A and B are shown apart, each in its own frame.
Chain A
Amino acid sequence: MAVIEVAGLGKSYGRRQVLEDVSFRVERGEVFGLLGPNGAGKTTAVECCEGLRRADAGTVRVLGLDPVRDARRLRPRIGVQLQQAQLQGALRVGEALELYAGLYPDPRDWRELLDEWGLADQSRTPFDRLSGGQRQRLFVALALIGNPEVAFLDELTTALDPQGRRDTWELVRRIRDNGVTVVLVSHFMDEVEALCDRAAVLDGGRIVATGTPAELVARSGAGGTLGFRPTAPLDPARLAALPGVTSVEERGGRIEVTGTGDFADRVTGLLAREGIVVTGLRIREHGLDEAYLALTRHDS
C-alpha cells in the first residue's frame, strides 16, 4: 500500500513555477529519497506532503489523507524535521522533547528518545548552546516523538562533519527498522545510495527519474571508466570510434576510456585483436554521483 501518493503536483510562488507535474509514490516501510540540486523544488514538494504548503495543481495523499484539508487527522501520524527551524533559544533539550510530547495524542516516552539519540547528557542544555550535530539529533527526535507512521527528514546531514553524517545514517536505518516510512530530502548522492530503497530525482521542478539507486545509475546511461597503460602504440581515435565510448583521454602514457553499455568489452576486444598487451588495467563503474550529474545536466 502506498503511504504517499503524489500525482501531477504543481506549485508556483508568484510567477516562478517551482514544481511542475511532479508524481511519485512511497510504499510503506521504505526509505524514499528526494534528490536534486539546490532550488530543484525538493523542500517545496515535501512541504506539500506535510501540509505546510497548498498545492496549486494535482493531488497529494499521505496515508490516504489530503495534507491540507485533513491536516488535523494527518499531523498526529507524521513526523517532520524542517530544513531551517530553530527552537526557543533558552529551551532545554529535555523540555523541548517534553513539550512536543505534550502536543501529540500518542507520544513516545521522551526520556527514551533522549537516550536513544544520545542526548541524555544534554538534557539540561539550552537549544542555543547545542552543537550542529546535537541540534540535528534533537530535531530528528522531535520528528519521532509523536510515534509517526511517516517521517520527513529534510537535509538531515547538511551541517554535519563526515563522522556525524555516518552516525546519522545509522540512526535513519534504525528509524526504518522500527517500521517507520522515511522520506529523505538530500542533495548528497552517497547518502541516497547508502540509505534509500528508492529515490526520485528532481531538477528544475520536474521529476527526471525515479527508481532504486541502481536503476537510476542504469537509466542515466552513466557507465564506467576503463583505464590502462598500453605496451605498444595505440591511436586514441580508434578507441573513440568504438560504439558506447563517450570520451578518451591520454595522459602520460595512460589511457582513460569513458563510456556506457558494453563499451568495456569492445575496448578489450579491440586490444585483443590488435594484440596489444596492457598493464595497470582498472575499471571503475559509475555510481549515483555520475548518474545524478548526467540526469541533472543542463544543456547550456
Chain B
Amino acid sequence: MNRTAHAVRRLAVAETRLFLRDPMTAFFTLLFPVALFGVLGSVPALRKASPDAHGLSTVQLYAPILAVLALMMLGLNGLPSLLATYRERGVLRRMSASPVRPALLFGALLPLYLGIATVSMLLVTALAPVLGVGLPRSPAAFALAFLLAAAAMLSVGLLLAAVVPSAKAGNAVGALALFPMMFFSGLWLPREFAPAVLNRIGDLTPGGAAAQALQDSWDGRFPHAVALLTLAAYALLAGAAAARLFRWE
C-alpha cells in the first residue's frame, strides 16, 4: 500500500516535469484560456449586456466556456495522444515489466490533468471580477459541475486512448473530438446565440453540458439535472468502456 503510494508519487513527479517541459501544451492549457478571457474582456462592446442573451454580456457567456477549455484540451486531446504515444513507444510495456502495474500511471496522470485544468479554471475565475463578470454565485454547484465535467472529459479521453490504434491516430482522433466539443461548448458561437436545435444536441455532449452547468451555477442557479446527468453518464459509460478496452501494448 505504502509502496504503491510511493510509486504513484514518483510517477506524478516525473509526469508533471514532462508536462511542464512541453511549453506549447503548458501554455495552451494553463495560460491561453485566461489570456483569451482577458483579451475578450478588454473589448468594451463585449462587456455590454446584450438583450439577445437574456441580459448577459458576451464576456459573461465566455467565462464558463474558458473555465472548462483546458479540461477539454487535456481530456480529449492531451490524454489520448499521450497514452497512445506511450503505448506505441513501449513505455507502458516497459512499466508492466516492473513491480508496479502500468495502471498506476493513471493514478499519476489523472490527478495531474485535473490539477492543471483546475488551476486554469481558477485563473479564469479569478479574472472574472476584474472584467465585470463576478465570481460564480453558487460556488458549491460550480465545483460540482466542474468535477463532473472533469470526470466526463477525462473518461472520454481514456476511452479514445483505449481504442486508437497508434500515436498518430491518437493525435488525430483527439483533435477531431476536441473541435466539435469546443463548438458545442460555445467557444465559437456562445450557446445563447445558437439555434435551439443545436443547443439540444450540444446539451448531450460533455462540452455543451459542462458549459451549460457552469453557466447556470455562475449565474446562481442550480444546474439542470439533464446537464449533470449527461456528464455523469459520460463519466461512467466511457470510463467503464475504457477500463474494458484499454490495451497496454
Contacts and interface: CB of A to CB of B under 8 A. Distances in A.
Interface stretch (A3-11, A86-94, A280-288): A86-94
A146 B99 contact: yes
A169 interface: no
A91 to B, nearest CB: 6
B22 interface: yes
Interface in A3-48: none
Nearest to A143: B97
B93 A100 contact: no
B97 A88 contact: no
Contacts of B13: 99
B99 A91 contact: no
Contact of B11 (A50, A76, A99): A99
B10 A102 contact: yes
Interface stretch (A77-85, A157-165, A180-188, A225-233): A77-85
Nearest to A79: B97
Bin chain A's interface residue count.
Answer: 20 to 34
Contacts of A76: 99
Residue of B3, B14, B100 contacting most chain A CB atoms (<10 Å)? B14
A88 B109 CA distance: 13
A82 B90 contact: yes
A85 B10 contact: no
B50 interface: no
A95 interface: yes
B90 A52 contact: no
Q: Which of B6, B99, B100 has the most CB of A within 10 A?
A: B99
The binding surface of chain B is classed by DSSP as helix
A103 B98 CA distance: 7
Contact of B22 (A50, A90, A104): A90
Contacts of A100: 98
Contacts of A52: 93, 96-97
B144 interface: no
A13 to B, nearest CB: 13
A105 interface: yes
A84 B90 CA distance: 7
A108 interface: no
A75 B89 contact: no
B99 A87 contact: no
A80 B18 CA distance: 24
A80 B11 CA distance: 19
B244 interface: no
Among A75, A102, A146, chain B packs the most CB atoms within 10 A around the CB of A102
A86 B90 contact: yes
A82 B95 CA distance: 11
Contacts of B93: 52, 82, 85
14 contacts: A52-B93, A85-B89, A85-B93, A87-B89, A87-B91, A88-B14, A88-B18, A90-B18, A95-B14, A98-B10, A99-B11, A102-B9, A142-B94, A146-B99
